[in-house]
Every structure is written in structure tokens, then in C-alpha cells.
Chains A and B, each alone.
Chain A
């Protein structure tokens, strides 16, 4: 079945770049997504990439997609303390549904 995997924790220093990685299994997914979840809040759509693209840049965010290896990454440049949150990778829609990874908890150290 469909599966999305992520490393669970990442710690970086303020001002450094963060790279969050994700692998997925469903090659028929149309889009790959990155969501951010802060404590006590719902998921906020950060960015997404169409499956036939290799890269997408949006201000401090860069998404890289390696479709052959089914690998997705999110790079956050100049990471700030406000970027501390849980980041979810998701694939979809497959049919009409989305499959989420377990989330990567990003801690930004001053």
C-alpha cells in the first residue's frame, strides 16, 4: 500500500539551513506536499510540487523531488526560531486521497 516515511527529529542552529527528507511509495501521486504544524494547531500548507517537476523555490523554501528514487526534500534557508514545528510530507491525491508521513520535529537552537 501507500507509505510515506520521514526521519522523526532534526535539530539545527538559528541561521543555518535545514533539510528535511521524505520517501514515498506511490508513483502515481500527482503532487507532493509539505505541511507545517505548530503546537495546538492544524496543518498549514507550506508548499507543494507537481510530480513532473524536479525543483520548486518559494522564498526561503526549496523543494527537491527525485522521482526515480521517490525522494522528496524541503530545504529551509536561514532557519529561524519561528520555524520550530513539525513538518509533514504528504503524497496525493491518489484517487482522491492524501497520505501523510509521521512528521519531522524541527528544533531550532539559538
Chain B
């Protein structure tokens, strides 16, 4: 079974630029999460999707962050415009219906200069 795929693995941008990350969850996993992991900290939830609907986006900075999962499969997370404090690893995770086992992708390391 293929794991959670994310791209790109690394991205360096200047502040005020835009960036987008892509995630393809494990096949059949209805629930998808985006997390932000700042260096030295645990992952912090940004947004949770159930199929193509948003379940929880209470911690998403909506003035600059957006995410979508249009067909209920893969998802994109966008930051526009980026700030220095957005430098972090962005992790995608997925979970199948009725399961409590969350599986993570390798992450995208974003550096904002």
C-alpha cells in the first residue's frame, strides 16, 4: 500500500511570495489533515477535511492560508503572502473511516527568507 505522498519536499521563498503544497493521501482514506510543525515543536493542526468538506479550520490563519480538497482525494495548501514565521515543515496525514490510525507523509520543509 502506497503511503501519503507530498510535494515538493523542500521550498525556499522570499517573504510576501506565494507557495503551494500538494498532498495525496493513502487510497480510500476519507479524512485528511494538514499540520504545521515549527522546529522543535510538535505538529499543530491547521485544517481537517472529511472527503471534500472542511471539518475543522479553526486554527488556520485564513488571512493568508487556504486549502482545498475538491474531489475528496488529493489536497493543496496555499500560503499567500508568506511571512518569516511561516518557516516550518508542513505535514499531511490521512486516516480511514472508522480507524484511529493516522498516517503521515514525509512533509514539505518551507523556508521563508
Residues of A within 8 A of B (CB): 4, 30-31, 33, 35, 40-45, 48, 88, 90, 92-93, 95-98, 100-103
* Total of A-B residue pairs, C-beta within 8 Å: 55
Say how far B4's CB is from chain A's closest CB, in angstroms.
Answer: 7
Do the beta carbons of A48 and B56 come within 8 Å of each other? Answer: no
Do the beta carbons of A42 and B91 come within 8 Å of each other? Answer: yes
A interface SS class: strand
Q: Decide yes or no: A42 and B100 within 8 Å by CB, A96-B48, A96-B56 being known contacts.
A: no
Do the beta carbons of A44 and B104 come within 8 Å of each other? Answer: yes
| Partner of A48 from B31, B40, B100, B104 at Cβ < 8 Å | B100
Q: Decide yes or no: A42 and B48 within 8 Å by CB, A31-B100, A88-B42, A103-B42 being known contacts.
A: no
Do the beta carbons of A97 and B100 come within 8 Å of each other? Answer: no
Say how far B105's CB is from chain A's closest CB, in angstroms.
Answer: 5
Do the beta carbons of A45 and B48 come within 8 Å of each other? Answer: no
Do the beta carbons of B106 and A30 come within 8 Å of each other? Answer: no
Do the beta carbons of B56 and A95 come within 8 Å of each other? Answer: yes
B 27-56 to A, binary, CB cutoff 8 A, 1 in contact else 0: 000010100000011111100101000011
Do the beta carbons of B104 and A97 come within 8 Å of each other? Answer: no
Q: Report how far A97 CA is from B56 CA in the complex, Å.
A: 9
Q: Report how far A53 CA is from B45 CA in the complex, Å.
A: 27
27 contacting pairs across A/B (C-beta < 8 A): A4-B42, A30-B100, A31-B100, A35-B104, A40-B109, A41-B106, A41-B107, A42-B4, A42-B93, A42-B107, A45-B101, A45-B102, A48-B101, A88-B42, A88-B43, A90-B42, A95-B56, A96-B50, A97-B56, A98-B33, A98-B102, A100-B42, A100-B43, A100-B44, A102-B41, A103-B41, A103-B42
